[in-house]
């Protein structure tokens, strides 16, 4: 049984390093997203207001798509094999956010795994926390919501304002990212209540939504246009397929990751049950992204082709096969799957 946030917050508070020269090191998961960065940065900033030294531990710099968050460099630390020992020697407490296990933290994992004192705040149900103190709520849409609850408890016990505009903005980015701007199934009444409080503290929703979901570039728009006009429908419009060749990437000058989102547009076509985007990668690999609706289990289907994933989103790949030939094979298998189910 999970203790209340009030109890948890006071236990973590008394677990913070008594020697304030020792650092609270905050660990997000690898391949960072808005939720883990927003949560980690808000926590570090709040801890500093309380007089603690604290930093976010990263394996690589914050990616350009999150640069709009304007996180001050001095809140961050990139852990490398060269500086790992020095960083570890400063550690007073290891605090994992939006993940619970060292193996999810990439190159930073060692610093967490070896820690003497560990705390976890997470919203992943599958989590098996490697920590003495853990607060895991799988129903929370984002980790940022849990962090806001924690920081509010600390505001009461310390009498200090810990969530001002900057921290509120960071936490709002987390909520908007993980709730799909308040549209995914994980969105709850409490998600809106917390978001409302963050807005009252100065958080901006409009700019965050633009940068997180809408901002694009010429190459990406051109690539999407090409991919969509080449799309083909099969099985009375229930299957949608398109291909992205290296040639298309070159012609449109599309940046890395520009193909993201195309498969969702195909899936959203009213008649479509399963959408597939085939993409030519380095080394002759063809990677297939699959998104489905009720009545087509993406994970089950992907498994038949050596891949895997979730019920509504899955992937698989092949090597040494022409993209057109592989597309034909995927279509044939998908049509056969529809016949069977
Ligand atoms: Mn998250």
How far apart are alpha carbons 314 and 300 in whole angstroms? 9
pLDDT for the residue numbered 127? 66
Distance 291 CA to ligand 1 centre (A): 21
pLDDT for the residue numbered 126? 66
Distance 143 CA to ligand 1 centre (A): 5
205 and 243 assigned to the same domain: no
**Residue 235: strand, helix, or coil:** coil
Residue 137 belongs to domain with CATH number? 3.90.1640.10
Distance 174 CA to ligand 1 centre (A): 7
Distance 153 CA to ligand 1 centre (A): 21
Last residue of a domain, which of 180, 197, 213?
213
Distance 269 CA to ligand 1 centre (A): 28
pLDDT for the residue numbered 2? 75
203 and 230 assigned to the same domain: no
Last residue of a domain, which of 213, 244, 273?
213
Distance 1 CA to ligand 1 centre (A): 22
321 and 288 assigned to the same domain: yes
206 and 222 assigned to the same domain: no
254 and 123 assigned to the same domain: no
pTM of the entire structure? 0.85
Last residue of a domain, which of 198, 213, 228?
213
List of the chain residues with pLDDT < 70: 1, 126-127
148 and 206 assigned to the same domain: yes
Structure-block tokens of residue 109: 């994992």
Distance 126 CA to ligand 1 centre (A): 13
306 and 183 assigned to the same domain: no
Distance 20 CA to ligand 1 centre (A): 29
Distance 255 CA to ligand 1 centre (A): 25
Residue 292 belongs to domain with CATH number? 3.10.310.30
Distance 224 CA to ligand 1 centre (A): 27
Distance 98 CA to ligand 1 centre (A): 5
Distance 310 CA to ligand 1 centre (A): 17
209 and 222 assigned to the same domain: no
What is the number of structural domains in the chain?
2
Domain extent at residue 31:
5-213
Distance 38 CA to ligand 1 centre (A): 10
Distance 125 CA to ligand 1 centre (A): 11
Contacts 24+ apart (CB under 8 A), 247-256: 248/223, 249/223, 251/222, 251/226, 252/219, 252/220, 252/222, 252/223, 252/226, 253/218, 253/219, 253/222, 254/219, 254/220, 254/222, 254/223, 255/217, 255/219, 255/220
Distance 135 CA to ligand 1 centre (A): 14
253 and 198 assigned to the same domain: no
Distance 105 CA to ligand 1 centre (A): 13
Best CA proximity match to 102, nearest among 131, 62, 126, 69: 131
**Residue 63: strand, helix, or coil:** coil
pLDDT for the residue numbered 130? 83
284 and 236 assigned to the same domain: yes
């Amino acid at each position: 049984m999970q203790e209340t946030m009030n109890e948890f917050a006071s236990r973590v508070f008394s677990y913070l390093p008594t020697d304030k020269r020792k650092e609270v090191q905050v660990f997000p998961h690898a391949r960072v997203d808005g939720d883990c960065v927003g949560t980690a940065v808000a926590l570090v900033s709040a801890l500093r207001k309380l007089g603690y030294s604290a930093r976010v531990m990263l394996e690589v710099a914050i990616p350009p798509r999150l640069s709009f968050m304007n996180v001050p460099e001095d809140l961050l630390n990139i852990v490398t094999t060269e500086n790992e020992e020095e960083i570890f020697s400063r550690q007073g407490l290891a605090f994992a956010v939006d993940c619970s296990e060292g193996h999810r933290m990439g190159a930073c994992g060692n610093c967490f795994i070896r820690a003497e004192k560990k705390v976890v705040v997470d919203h992943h149900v599958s989590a098996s926390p490697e920590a003495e103190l853990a607060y895991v709520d799988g129903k929370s849409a984002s980790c940022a919501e849990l962090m806001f609850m924690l920081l509010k408890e600390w505001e009461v016990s310390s009498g200090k304002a810990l969530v001002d505009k900057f921290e509120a903005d960071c936490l709002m980015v987390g909520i908007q990212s993980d709730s799909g701007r308040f549209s995914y199934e994980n969105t709850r009444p409490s998600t809106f209540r917390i978001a409302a409080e963050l807005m009252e503290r100065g958080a901006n929703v409009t700019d965050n939504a633009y940068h997180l979901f809408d901002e694009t570039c010429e190459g990406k728009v051109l690539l999407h246009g090409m991919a969509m006009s080449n799309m083909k429908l099969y099985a009375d419009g229930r299957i949608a397929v398109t291909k992205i060749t290296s040639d298309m990437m070159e012609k449109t000058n599309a940046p890395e990751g520009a193909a993201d989102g195309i498969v969702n547009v195909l899936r959203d076509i009213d008649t479509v049950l399963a959408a597939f985007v085939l993409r030519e990668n380095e080394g002759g690999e063809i990677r297939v992204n699959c998104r489905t609706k009720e009545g087509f289990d993406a994970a089950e289907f992907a498994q038949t082709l050596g891949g895997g994933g979730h019920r509504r989103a899955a992937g698989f790949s092949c090597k040494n096969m022409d993209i057109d030939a592989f597309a034909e094979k995927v279509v044939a298998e998908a049509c056969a799957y529809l016949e069977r189910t």
